Amino acid sequence: MKLIYKLFIFLTVIIISVNTSFAFTNQKIDKLIEKSDLSKTSTIAISVRNVSTGNVVYEKDAKKLLHPASTIKIPASYFAINTLGYDYFFKTGFYKYNKDLYIKLGADPLLTFGQLKSAFSQLKSQGLDNFENLYIDDSIIDKKEFSQGWMWDDDVNPYTPKVSAYNLDGNSIKLNMTTKDDGTVKTSLNSKYPMSIYAYIKKDANGEFLDVNRYNWNNPELVEIYGKVNNTQSVKVPISSMRRYFIYNIDKILDEKRITVKSSLYASKIIPQNADLIYEISNPIEPVISEILQNSNNLMAETIYKLAGGMDYNSTGTDENAFMAMAKFYQKDNVDFNSVVLKDGCGVSRNNLVSVDWMSNILIKIYKDKNFEKFKEYMAQPGDGTLSSRLFDLRGDAWLKTGSLSNISALAGYIKSKDGNLYAITIYTQNFKLNQKEVKKFEDEIVTLIYNR
């Protein structure tokens, strides 16, 4: 009886000690928020939960619907990779039917001009150099190159190129700027694609500012760049029409390889069922997962999101069927998709709305899944990608996804604290005028408090 009593006292002391530790940490977080200028004018929502028990460790405004920015890449990419498979390959197929050539696009975000050129070299080596028609099967994903809620001025954002079945060369052209001794700046493109550049750029020791604009209602192939640079640098300019860019490059290759296609109209057309596969370009999905979770690649994230929706519904991939497929994937674990709004799978859409509590539920569901450890290894640790200059002391104990849009900052993922417990953490900060770096520092201080609790 005395042994049972002593055990009871021992466990009671442990529980009180744990609760006191949490309370002390939570008081520190409260004071940090109260002291910050963000608390006066901005919205701050936080959720910290033990992934093993699901218990709430700390929360603030956990049910408020806010913008997740790129943290939405966690649930979207986890759904996509589990739907497509870790052994999935993006495939661009070349088919022959009678005297016609068909190209079946796979929306491959890794596809390059060099790979296309090699493919036609292989056709030439097989004696396939004369065709009546060339058709392009672009049915794998829809033709909406911008998702609902993307801003018009994202059109020239180097981080948000258009998404298309015609993905090629990262859907961007590189503009190189070389400063000269006379104070002028020479500009050149890394492609002969007919794009006009008006560059109003000066050499300036205090430079490094560039303002890139494209006014599609006037001329979608005209880009204006203003600013000052102090050395040689480059900037990526998203392509205005991926289909036009793809066909331009096909024409260029056909001419160089002396391959004849009698009809110059490359219509969109589904491949006949009994067409013969004569060549295939294939790229693995695994490098794409790392690019999404570590470097926040929007083109890749949105592409695999749509592809997964199309695979689940055996149809053309869209944001709409991707959302429904993702809801089915998570709802079996009681994650409520009726409470959120998602218009894309990369976080660029300004229409996306989720709560930090909802994201915590997602993180816990992923933790309980058999593929968690494999997926976690793709996530950024301090020193990687978008965490390259953050939380260095937590490498090996933090796996996080950042998110940034104008006046929006987000952070979500996993923290292994000094006590050995793993926590799901989500922080959304919105409607601020502070510099993004200051807000990121605020997030890091919260993460460090959880780690040290």
Cα–Cα distance for residue pair 193/191, rounded to 1 Å:
5
CB neighbour burial string for 300-335, b if at least 16 within 10 angstroms, e if fewer: bbbbbbbbbbbbbeeebbbbebbbebbbebbeeeeb
Query: Do residues 134 and 103 lie in contact, with contact meaning Cβ atoms separated by under 8 Å?
Result: yes
Residue 304 pLDDT grade (very low, low, confident, very high; cuts 50, 70, 90):
very high
Whole-angstrom Cα distance, residue 239 to residue 27?
A: 50
Average pLDDT over residues 362-391: 95
101-118 pLDDT tens trace: 999 999 999 999 999 999
Residue 12: pLDDT over 60: no
Give the whole-number percent of the chain exceeding pLDDT 90. Answer: 75
Segment 222-261, tens digit of pLDDT: 888 888 888 778 888 999 999 999 999 999 999 999 999 9
Short-list 362, 435, 436, 360, CA closest to 404? 436
- Residue 397 token pair: 């104990």
Q: What is the CA radius of gyration of the chain?
A: 26
What local confidence, expressed as pLDDT, does residue 11 receive? 46
CA 356 from centroid of its chain's CA atoms: 19
- pLDDT 10s digits, 22-34: 675 789 999 999 9
**Which residues partner with 134 through β-bridges?**
101
The phi, psi pair for 309, rounded to 5°, reads -65, -40
Q: Does residue 126 contact residue 93 with C-beta atoms inside 8 Å?
A: no
CB-CB contact of 36 with 444 (8 Å): no
What contacts 17, CB < 8 A, 6 or more positions away? none
- pLDDT tens readout for residues 423-444: 999 999 999 988 899 999 999 9
Give the sheet arrangement for strand 222-229, strand by strand: 196-203, 222-229, 209-214
The DSSP secondary structure of 280-317, one letter per residue, reads: EEEEESHHHHHHHHHH--HHHHHHHHHHHHHHHHTS-B
What mean pLDDT do residues 314-329 have? Answer: 97
E strands, 2-123, in order: 43-50, 56-60, 89-97, 100-104
Encode pLDDT of 207-221 as tens digits.
Answer: 667 788 888 888 888
pLDDT over 90 (residue 2): no
Among 346, 362, 353, residue whose Cα is nearest residue 414: 362
What is residue 86's DSSP assignment? Answer: T
Residue linked to tokens 């915590």: 360
Dihedral over alpha carbons 150, 38, 442, 70 (to 10 degrees): -10
What is the average pLDDT across 280-289?
97
The full DSSP string for 176-198 is EEEE-TTS-EEEEESS-S--EEE
Give me the chain's average pLDDT, please.
Answer: 91
pLDDT at 17: 46
What are the residues whose beta carbons fall under 8 Å from the beta carbon of 208, sequence distance 6 or more?
Answer: 228, 229, 230, 233
Three-state DSSP string of 157-180: CCCCCCCCCCCCHHHEEEEEEEEC
Taking alpha carbons only, the member of 193, 133, 135 closest to residue 168 is 193
Extract the runs of DSSP E, i.e. beta strands, from 221-379: 222-229, 233-238, 260-261, 276-284
303 phi and psi angles, rounded to 5 deg: -65, -50
Strand extents, DSSP E, 318-420: 398-405, 408-416
Angle of helix 319-331 versus helix 298-313 axis, rounded to 10 = 70
Yes or no: say if 414 and 398 are a contact pair by the CB < 8 Å rule: yes
- Above pLDDT 70, what percent of the chain? 94
Structure tokens at 410: 């987000």
The Cα 247–Cα 253 span in angstroms is 10
